[in-house]
Structure 1
Amino acid sequence: MDRNASSPLNSTVLPTPLPTNITSDVNATVKPFSVFDGCDYQVEGILFDLTLQCINVVIGIPANILVIAILIHNRKEPSTSDIFIGCLAFMDAYFGAMTPVSFLNLYHWQSKEVWSALKFSYGVKDTSGPLFLSCICLDRFIAVLFPILFGQLKHIKYRLSLSVLVLCLTFAYSAAKVVGGLPDFEKVFTGEILAAFTWMVVCNACILWALKKSRGAGKDEMHPMKKKAFKMVLSILCIIIFNYLPPVALFPFEDYYAPDVFRCYVQPVGFAFLNISSTIQPLVYLSRLEKVPFLPETCVKKWCACVSADNKTPPAQKQNA
């Protein structure tokens, strides 16, 4: 997958050119195009990634569509982060929809044109997720630590401008991935994911510290708006640790692995955790809602039982109820 590097499923690295003095001798034996890109006999890591991506098709796409529908339903009383959440849900739904195409191209079509479209979708996933989550963290960071400035920047035009910038960066990165052959291009994703991960962890740590400190001496209750921000920050922090820590921990040590091992096993497994965020992110968002429109309450309770168990009402609230 170059997918940010040279991973087999979305490599942007061109084949090494042959010396001019032997090119003519091997033209007749040039290997046919392979979407596995050198991992034809080491496909376990790739299939592990695609297996998790199947969850995005079955659960992630409906969940992301539901998130978009809820945001449209609540457009009269929007949150300042809704535009970032909506863009993230749309990109995740698009990425999930490309998984069946990926399977068909691996085992049936073997098309370079379809492969280019798939590499573009990988570029979208690699870039849009970390950047839009960083935008959500920035929005919460300003709201909690700089409330006066937040009030001045509350107009939607600022978030629209930031969203357009993120989309431009996403499409530029994805187009470059499709073109391929750019020197050290694989380092772009490594730098991006490290910067985004560091920012989100530091940002969320500062927010949690500020919210905890704002309770004051002898106060057990938190302001409802701050409590809502606290829950959002905790959910984002869980997503960051589970989905983004594996690639952050593995990819910088590329030189310590054999090239085939890194490309065919380490990268696909690292990206598998990143890709499954297309399902986890909408489910975490839905689990934070007091009521989910369009769905029966009993269905929502069963669907989000595992997540909601971690968000039970605090003991102090139960006593006051």
Structure 2
Amino acid sequence: MMNTSSNCSLLADFQYHLFSIIYSLVFILGLIENVLALYVLTCKVKNSTQSYVYFINLAVVDTMFVCMLPFRIHYHINENNWIFGDITCRITGTLYFTNIYLSIGFFTCICVDRYIAVVHPLTYLRIRVSHYNIVLTVLLWAIAVAIVVPLVLGGRLDNFLENNKTACYESFPESSWKKRLVPYNTCALVFGFVIPFSIIMISYPLIAKRISKIQTSIHKKKALRTIFMILAISILCFLPYHLTHLLHFMMRARIFDHCAFNGFIYKLRRITLALVSFNCCLNPIMYYFTTSTYSGRLRLRLRGLRAKKVYTIYDRDMNTFLGTYRNKP
């Protein structure tokens, strides 16, 4: 239960069973899938390419997330009563949100990488030698650490329920929502979701349209399935959570205050919080679709007669024919 300043009780008793069941399922499936994915991506896949760096880091983030789920499962089984101490609450809480925003960040990197490779293949051939994927990966982790460390090492969380149970990253006082939590939530929504999600939703349809026009690749369907998988994860897992989180943030900041609507948003947010955790189970399925197409090679082949050179470009990430380019002497 959570009370607002307007004496409107926010109840969602179903959440205890919902979170316990969903998190248990995600823990079992996610741990098996991501450990297996890390093994395959690091040990079995040969001739790895630019996007593999993002896939490996996604699997690392998801593995970190599922490893903290037993704490959350215990927390919800005991009706949102945290017994593991303040520091452990901070670590598990920040890992929860780190998984969300690093996953979106790596999805965006994959999106940009695929867009350049498919729509501008010659540019892709030039920039891939700069190892920009490693630079972007380090940058994302650096931003995540810069945000997480102050949260973990900061002052004690003012985070308690009225019925003598200790909450973890819930039930913040109204003063925190109006002051301390405003910049975090605003930046998370704008830079952590709205901008990356917009890039994904604009770029991937363009990539799919370009690939669908290619008639020479027998792996076109697999490439399109990979694209649709990323779109599906973004829409099913991340979009509902951020929409309800925006409404929840507005409710707690007292931008609007209607008791019945507040109760509906509180319940809906419980559901989307559980739903967003499924991304770490769906990501390994995306790896399967992608790695099954990685048997191809990105190669530049010389053909033709003395009067001209014909370059045939293949995308090793999608094993897709990208086009033929002629250079006259």
- TM-score between both structures, scaled by the size of structure 2: 0.67
Q: 2:239 aligns with which of 245, 255, 258?
A: 245
Q: 1:55 aligns with which of 13, 18, 25?
A: 25
Distance 1:110 1:176 in 2: 20
Residue of structure 1 in register with 2:228 after alignment: 234
Q: Which has the higher helix share?
A: 1
User: How many angstroms does 1:120 deviate by?
Assistant: 1.9
Q: Match for 2:209: what amino acid?
A: W
Q: 1:144 aligns with which of 86, 104, 118?
A: 118
Greater CA drift, 275-284 or 171-180: 171-180
Distance 1:79 1:87 in 2: 14
TM-aligned CA distance change 1:260 to 1:110, over 3 Å:
farther
Q: 1:101 aligns with which of 64, 71, 84?
A: 71
User: How many angstroms does 1:95 deviate by?
Assistant: 0.4
Contact 1:141 1:207 in 2 (8 A): yes
Greater CA drift, 100-109 or 197-206: 100-109
User: How many angstroms does 1:137 deviate by?
Assistant: 0.8
Distance 1:251 1:267 in 2: 7
Residue of structure 1 in register with 2:206 after alignment: 206
Contact 2:24 2:73 in 1 (8 A): no
Residue of structure 2 in register with 1:188 after alignment: 187
TM-aligned CA distance change 1:284 to 1:75, over 3 Å:
closer
Distance 1:274 1:74 in 2: 29
Q: Match for 1:265: what amino acid?
A: K
Q: Match for 1:174: what amino acid?
A: V
Q: Select the structure with the greater relative contact order (CA < 8 A; seq sep ≥ 6).
A: 1
What does residue range 1-321 of structure 1 map to in structure 2 within 5 Å? 42-45=12-15, 47-105=17-75, 107=78, 109-155=83-129, 157-178=131-152, 179=154, 182-184=180-182, 185-191=184-190, 192-212=192-212, 214-215=213-214, 221-224=215-218, 228-254=222-248, 255=250, 258=259, 261=263, 264-287=266-289, 289-290=291-292
Q: Match for 2:92: what amino acid?
A: L
TM-aligned CA distance change 1:284 to 1:50, over 3 Å:
farther
TM-aligned CA distance change 1:49 to 1:195, over 3 Å:
farther
User: How many angstroms does 1:135 deviate by?
Assistant: 0.8
Contact 1:123 1:173 in 2 (8 A): no
The unaligned stretches of length 5 or more in structure 1 are: 1-7, 9-15, 17-37, 216-220, 292-321
Contact 1:57 1:96 in 2 (8 A): yes
**Number of corresponding residues:** 251
User: How many angstroms does 1:155 deviate by?
Assistant: 3.0
Q: Match for 2:282: what amino acid?
A: I
TM-aligned CA distance change 1:243 to 1:109, over 3 Å:
same
User: How many angstroms does 1:174 deviate by?
Assistant: 2.7
TM-superposition CA deviations, 1:20-61 (whole Å, max 9, x none): xxxxxxxxxxxxxxxxxx97x644336524432222211111
User: How many angstroms does 1:110 deviate by?
Assistant: 4.7
Contact 2:244 2:265 in 1 (8 A): no
User: How many angstroms does 1:102 deviate by?
Assistant: 2.1
Residue of structure 1 in register with 2:167 after alignment: none
User: How many angstroms does 1:134 deviate by?
Assistant: 0.8
Q: Match for 1:167: what amino acid?
A: W
